[in-house]
Structure 1
Amino acid sequence: MAWAVFDGHCGWQLSNLLKTQLMPFVRRSLVDAGSANKDGVSEEAVHQALKNSFTTLDDALVKSATAIIESDLPFAEKARRLEPAYAGACALLTLFDPESRKLHVVSTGDCRAVLGQKSADGKWETTALSEDCTGATPSEVARVKAQFPDEPDIVQSGRIWGLQPSRTFGDGMWKWTATLKKNLRYHFNGLSLPSSSRYKNYKDGPYVTAEPLVTTTQIPPPQEGRPSFLILATDGLWDAMSSEQAVDLVGKWYDRQQKGASTAEPDKQAEDFGPVVLGWKKQCKYEERKATFRDDNAAVHLTRNALGGAHEEMVRGALAFRYPNSRDIRDDITVQVVFFGPVR
């Protein structure tokens, strides 16, 4: 079983492409790993196969730029084929084997996977299954600086030459040589990022990579009486709430579902939360006092509570803003919730 979320930047083209192209690369890489290991595939081999699938797909996108512009294709076709590599995308992929009950999490960028699990005393525990790969993550900062020791200004304000994710698909402007970027800029309307006027010490890179971080977690069988669930979400959700808050919200939602709607506690729909304020003074943030449990879908439940919860006017206001104005109050939010235990 497989679930994923994709978060595009500098355009939607690459995240749209990953929806259809990532899994075939993953499948092929895992098949190749199985063919090379007749006695069974080790966890280490699975991890390497997953890493290879990400980097192979990214190479096919980014390293094909020269071949595309030197081809005999019509100009319009060249411009269209270059679009995904100009854009970038964070990708979070999870693979679950129902037989072994192993959950593999493959992550590039700042999407996040979190496991919620009920403890023996009935409390919901939170386990991080991925690490945010950004210029603000200490381990990633150390990796990038070690890779480019002669470029002390490479990481500033949590960004790598202006780019927040440190591991991404695409983002060719952070991976191509200066010569290729100039050619694309002058002849194929390539992006001007990262700005040479702002980052004067920028060299050739590549400064970011599509090689993902991979983890494997054993999911307990449901008959042990410890239901569990997986939350996958883009950083828009995590800007508004912590991993622990998200698990608490879904855990309480789950418990209410098991009780049945007739025994659930009443919602706070009619409470007066004051006027709506959204802008530089106040962004979308989860507030426990505004928590609401009116949705039948757990992912919608999380999204609603990230945007204002029971304060309906705030939720409507947050959704009324469209890009680019929306960026001052919320990021795009994509959420999936997967339940491993029995659910009513």
Structure 2
Amino acid sequence: MAENTYHTAFRTTCISVPNVIKANEDRYLLRHLQLPNGIWRMIGVFDGHAGEECVNYAIETFPAFLQTALSAALEHIDDLSSSSSAVTDTIRKAIIDYDNQILSDFLDLFPGGVEALQLLSDDEIKSIVNDFDSGGKNNIKVLRCMRGSTLLFSLRDPSGGNLWVASLGDCQAILGRKDSTGLWHSSVLSSDHNGHDIDESDRVQREHPGEQDCIMNDRVLGAIAVTRALGDHEFKIPAVYTRRVFLNTQPGFRVSSNVLEFIARNKTPPYLSNEADVRHVDMKSLDNTESFLILCSDGLVDLYMYDEQRTGPLDKIVARWVKIVGDSIARGDADVAPLLLLRDALDGDGPARVVRKVIVDGDAIEEDKGRILRNIAMEMPDKWMDDITLAVQRL
């Protein structure tokens, strides 16, 4: 199995609100899972949102959870290639079970369900969820439910002949493959689980007939961009839990008024799904051609989508990425491929004319800045850039 995996992260801050800095919530993992038939290699990019508690927990505990599920499944599998669908189903179910376990840990704090919850006073609820004096074990269980994370990882068996990619949310996985003529080809192995995707938007609306507000402004309940994720249980369980518990938990939501708006639309949960898209690639069918996998958070593609000079369909953007990585492999410097991708996203083909007026000795003059400086200095209308984390895995 190839051990060449390179990754980088671009630490960004949110400065859309004066004096407010949002810490980076992207996470990256590389794990070796000890399974009955040998060591499997797992590489992942997780994009946390609304806080760090869910994404941190996922990075720490999900690999072991998945390892347990796969160990049980592999006891009944002799040939992975002919039983790839069984592994696919196991991965998909493990992700659902993991997210449901996060929810169960929370619901166990309030036995008796909604009816019992309604009998508790606000003070009683606060004493349960804000248990800082006794170590905060309850509090962290609640926060894992309130926060969320996308999930994207690749999983490769010991022989290297089978590759699985699981995606939940809107991170991207791109397979680059070189054909017999030396040309590189790109394939998207992930799904775009957000409200901009027509299929996802239609799915949510089909699941909630007659609820026109289930998708508003390309967001679920008008509040969250992703349509599938770990955590974010305010979009998955009855609104009473958000109103009575989550809004009484510290630290709370960043903007509580926004929460009050969307929970009024929460009528028939769940609105967010925890069912991942899991795909299998038979590496033997690639005829031993050179190949690699790019895993990245959505912040990378955003830099192209929001640049009017380079915006275009996703397949055009990822073809550009594959060429950049392919060229770096040809030069023998694949280890810097993630940095080259990041540089291209920030800077494109070179300086773009970004002009600002500055005062020099009392006179106003125009100053040209390259695109990369514009991005780093946040000299764009929204004054905000998403976190970017990416990995390149040689297959």
TM score, norm. by length of structure 1: 0.78
Give the conservation status (yes or no) of the 8 Å contact 1:66–1:180. no
Alignment-derived partner of residue 107 in structure 2: 66
Q: Which residue of 2 aligns with 1:278?
A: none
Please name the residue that 1:270 is paired with.
none
Given the alignment of the two structures, is residue 339 of structure 1 paired with residue 376 of structure 2, yes or no? no
Q: Which moved more, 1:73-82 or 1:301-310?
A: 73-82
- Percent sequence identity over aligned pairs: 27
- Match for residue 299 of structure 1? 338
Deviation at 1:89, TM superposition (A): 0.5
Matched, 1:170 2:231: yes
Superposed displacement of residue 336, structure 1: 0.2
Q: Which residue of 1 aligns with 2:42?
A: 2
Shift of residue 244 of structure 1? 1.3
Q: Give the equivalent residue in structure 2 for 1:250.
A: 325
Q: CA deviation at 1:142?
A: 2.6
The residue that corresponds to 2:217 in the other structure is: 157
Q: Which residue of 2 aligns with 1:75?
A: 131
Change (3 A) 1:15 1:53: same
Which amino acid in the other structure matches residue 299 of structure 1? P
Q: Distance in 1 between matches of 2:232 and 2:263?
A: 16
CA distance in 2, matches of 1:176, 1:136: 23
Alpha carbons 1:102, 1:218 under 8 Å: kept: yes
Q: CA deviation at 1:25?
A: 1.1
Q: 1:165 to 1:297 in 2, by over 3 A?
A: same
Distance 1:204 1:49, change over 3 A: same
Greater strand share, 1 or 2?
Answer: 2
Q: Flag the structure with more relative contact order, 1 or 2, with Cα contacts below 8 A and sequence separation at least 6.
A: 2
- In the alignment, structure 2 segments of 5+ residues that lack a partner are 1-40, 112-126, 305-316, 352-368
Distance of 2:386 and 2:99 partners within structure 1 = 25
Trace 1:230-249 onto structure 2 (pairs within 5 A).
230-241=293-304, 242-249=317-324
What are the equivalent positions in structure 2 for 1:175-324 lying under 5 Å apart? 175-189=236-250, 190-191=252-253, 192=256, 195-197=259-261, 200-220=264-284, 226-241=289-304, 242-257=317-332, 296-308=335-347, 311=351, 314-316=371-373, 318-320=375-377
TM-score, length-scaled by structure 2: 0.68
Q: Which amino acid aligns with 1:59?
A: N
Number of residues paired by the alignment? 300
Q: Is residue 124–residue 248 contact of structure 1 (8 Å, CA) maintained in 2?
A: yes
Counterparts of residues 32-111 of structure 1 (less than 5 Å): 32-35=72-75, 37=76, 42-68=83-109, 75-76=131-132, 77=136, 78-99=138-159, 101-111=161-171
Check conservation: 2:195, 2:220, Cα contact below 8 A.
yes
1:265 aligns with none
CA contact under 8 A between 2:242 and 2:263: conserved in structure 1? no
Q: Is the 8 A contact 2:169 2:227 kept in 1?
A: yes
